[in-house]
Amino acid sequence: MFTNRPHSKGPRSRALAAALSAVTAVSVLAGCAGGSSGGGDGGGNADATLTVWTDDTRQPAVEAYVRAHPQARVKVVLTSYKAGEVAQKIALADRAGKGWPDVVFLGSPSDVSALAAAPLRFAQPLDELVPEQTRRQFAKGTLEGCTYEGKLFCLANDTAPVVLWTNETLMKQFGYSVPTTWAEYRELGVRLGKEHPGYVIGGINDVSGYGAFFGGSGCPDRETTGPTDIRIDLADPRCTRVAELLQPLVENGTVTASSPWDPTFTEEVGKKNTILMYPAAGWFGEYGFKGSYKIPDGQLAAHPVPAWTGDSTATTGAMGGGLWVVSRHSRNVKGAADIATWLTTSDAPEGIVAASALPAHTPTAQKWCAARAADRFYAADPCPAMLDAAGRIAENYDYIRFEGQFADSYAQTFVATASRKGDLAGALPVWQKQLVQAAENAGYKVSR
């Protein structure tokens, strides 16, 4: 993030420490293989072919690296990025004694905890492979979750703080003002439901919901408090106020339980331009409104998220923020580290500056922002709100080892209740029970 959080050791770092201090569930898969063996010749074979696991969003950047380095031998492999799946695939490679990637993209940042921890110990420390000057160029806070006991285990691809996206054309047409508090947000939603039914001001499905609303509220649903300790307390006022905020908006349909990526939502809401506002990550402007919904130019703007009544400052949540990890099994760890460095820092036209998310590397982010400021798609430069939000992510929105189970339990309880317009406050105890079970299964001691 571009401004540091007011604590000496950030939550991402605390969460990584927790994972590195405990045996995770992937040990069952890893078995005795354990990931203890290194590359065949100590990682110094400059002629070795390097395998990069990536998703389709990052694929163009990887291919741009290949074109920029014709002498490099690189094999690009598309792979799944659901939380926990990369660790499972690495564990299977450990059992086989082969098949590890040299570089891997983590679309679920929490997975770095398992990759750096025993029994996998997959992640290669990068301190001697990435120059200190380069490391210092990353925005403050973005490498916190990559660092444990002074060692750097990954490079941050991007940062994904939540902002309040608004359709300025619709706001002006309806005569509404951008809410600065969540109370105003709720009042606007109630008013919108009566005056312009069919329009929406947000969604609670997947990370769009728990990242934007619960995460931004500081709800202790994933607050790591020690190496193997976590606090989960959905009865905390910072959690219950989210349910109270959303209840009337879910009931009148201005906050939807549909996924923003559901084809029906895309066609019936997104492309019909009936989203008045939407709390979501910075990348949602490029990937959602511009890429998927294709709303007209000059309508979309980014604003700071509203503040909660009684809070001295507004805090926000996050929706992603990818990481690149280098394998300690690589036969050419220097070459692999060079790929990860280029992918996160290059200003090549088809590199990260062309991606939908705000780069974590500060000089590259400045060029990314310059392109957004000149983009006619936006009603105003969205970067000031994004950069401000990057320093406001709630301190207890931590990396956890059960990210996939967290999302599943949220969908099965809170989202399911919202889908039938049920009692959201009543869903919290049910979600609490499932979260506690998932955390205990992942090796945490849970407190409230």
Instruction: Average the pLDDT over 294-299 and give the result.
Output: 98
Provide the residue type at 92 as one letter.
Answer: L
Q: Please write the tens of the pLDDT for every residue from 310-356.
A: 898 899 988 878 999 999 999 999 999 999 999 999 999 889 988 88
**DSSP secondary structure string, 128-145?**
TTS-HHHHHTBPTTTTGG
pLDDT band at 405 (very low <50, low <70, confident <90, very high): very high
Q: Please write the tens of the pLDDT for every residue from 193-246.
A: 999 999 999 999 989 899 999 999 999 999 988 768 999 999 999 999 999 999
Instruction: Average the pLDDT over 383-389 and give the result.
Output: 91
pLDDT band at 34 (very low <50, low <70, confident <90, very high): very low
Least confident of 60-74, 139-153, 289-303: 139-153
Assess whether pLDDT exceeds 90 at residue 144: no
Return the sign of the alpha-carbon dihedral for residues 68, 74, 80, 84: negative
Assess whether pLDDT exceeds 70 at residue 428: yes
CB 122 within 8 A of CB 115: yes
pLDDT band at 3 (very low <50, low <70, confident <90, very high): very low
Three-state DSSP class for 299?
coil
Please give the pLDDT value at position 32.
39
What are the structural domains of the chain?
11-159+320-360 (3.40.190.10), 162-318+384-447 (3.40.190.10)
Assess whether pLDDT exceeds 90 at residue 21: no
Could you tell me the pTM of the whole model?
Answer: 0.83
CB 301 within 8 A of CB 163: no
pLDDT band at 170 (very low <50, low <70, confident <90, very high): very high
Please give the pLDDT value at position 393.
87
